Amino acid sequence: MRKYVLLAALLIVSGFMLLSAVDMHPFGSPDREDMDKYFINNAQEEVSANNVVTSIVFDYRGFDTLGEATVLFTAVVGVSLIFRRLIK
Amino acid sequence: MMSKIVRTITNILYSSILIFGFYIIMHGHLTPGGGFQGGAVVASGIALVLIAYGYDTVKSWMKKSNLSVLESIGALGFIGIAFLGIGTTFFYNFLANSGGLFGDPTVIGINPGNLDTSGVLPLMNWAVGLKVLAGLGSVVLLMAYGIRKGDEE
Amino acid sequence: MTNFGKVISVIEEIIQILILLIIIATAIMAVSFKDLLAAVISLAATSLLLSLEFYILQAPDVAIAEAGIGAALTTAIFILAIKGTVRREEL
């Protein structure tokens, strides 16, 4: 019984993946590209950084990085809370 | 404490790993990488030394409380730099193209790069790099401390 | 010149397919090993090959993050956990 359930799950998941792989865009040509074109053309002039990825991460989308830093801080606080019990 | 092979390889490799991580943090606005990636590389160097030599050797040159202070400095520096541009918006890049610190205008197009450009991005890279370094390092250090206590009992 | 570019792209595609096949093989090895240290090492090999694949797809940022977090730090944490517990998997 368990084997059949696992086989059905495997078939369903691989079927979905194959379905989406058949329908995929060609590599490097996304559907909507207005935002990409804006970043690629104007980021070097506005932020004056050569690395466009860093200028997006720290300047255009700074709130995202703030959230990521908060997640990391929460993880460290959780680990130190768990292992604090071992220190006598 | 691991075997002699692991310790020898660690002696050769760890300084290179630390220098590579700090290079990624420092050149985050010119080459691929940035604060998060460089901090992760430095923390992996710390984890390598910790696994090869055990907690008791590392404890003498790196304390967990110092790492906590470093992480707080990183987080507060990041938010503080973000607040400094609040005359326009939060996270405004007020140093770019201003001629002051990190304020040189960059050449448009493909160029080898100038370290003195791009405004607040290097400062934020250093802040986030310190934060990630200290956070991941203290996680690994705390776990090694738990293992050591488990060994004694 | 165009002929040369076509040959390069075909070689790149062959390398990508090889890397993906080795990734699948190392992932299956990581599940099926009974020695947990060997399983952790093959998981690290999976992460390293995945970062190589990211680099071939021209995302060096993601490649550095994957190599630092996935291949180094996760392996270190798993090795610490194995040091604290047992090495063989009990059935």
pLDDT tier at B106 (50, 70, 90 boundaries)? confident
| C20 within 8 A of C53, measured Cβ to Cβ | yes
pLDDT tens-place string over residues A2-34: 899 999 999 999 999 999 988 888 877 777 888
Of the two residues A8 and B83, the one the predictor is more confident about is A8
For C73, the closest of B24, B136, B147 (CB atoms) is B136
The pLDDT assigned to B51 comes to 86
Calculate how close chain C gets to B87, using CA atoms only, in Å. Answer: 32
The pLDDT assigned to A80 comes to 85
Taking residues A24-50, report their average pLDDT.
Answer: 82
For B146, the closest of A44, A47, A83 (CB atoms) is A83
Domains of chain C, by residue range, sit at: 2-84
User: Distance between CA A10 and CA A4 in Å, rounded?
Assistant: 10
pLDDT tens-place string over residues A55-64: 888 888 888 8
Calculate how close chain A gets to B40, using CA atoms only, in Å. Answer: 12
B58 contact C CB<8A: no
With a pLDDT cut of 70, the percent of chain B lying above it is 96
Domains of chain B, by residue range, sit at: 4-152
B28 contact A CB<8A: yes
Contact A58 B34 (CB under 8 A): yes
Closest by CA position to B37, among listed B15, B20, B51:
B20
B129 contact C CB<8A: no
Which run of H or E residues covers position B115? Answer: none
Contact C73 B40 (CB under 8 A): yes
The type of residue at B90 is F
Q: For chain A, how many helices (H) and strands (E)?
A: 4, 0
pLDDT tens-place string over residues A61-83: 888 888 988 998 899 889 888 88
User: Distance between CA B26 and CA B122 in Å, rounded?
Assistant: 7
The pLDDT assigned to A40 comes to 86
Q: Which residues of chain C have pLDDT under 70?
A: 1, 91
Calculate how close chain B gets to A68, using CA atoms only, in Å. Answer: 10
Whole-Å CA distances, C70 to A14, B108, B150, C76, C78: 25, 35, 26, 10, 11
User: Distance between CA B121 and CA B28 in Å, rounded?
Assistant: 8
The pLDDT assigned to C52 comes to 92
Contact B33 C61 (CB under 8 A): yes
User: Distance between CA B36 and CA C14 in Å, rounded?
Assistant: 32
Taking residues B17-41, report their average pLDDT.
Answer: 89
pLDDT tens-place string over residues B32-76: 888 889 999 999 998 888 888 888 777 777 777 788 888 888 889
B128 contact C CB<8A: no
The pLDDT assigned to B153 comes to 45
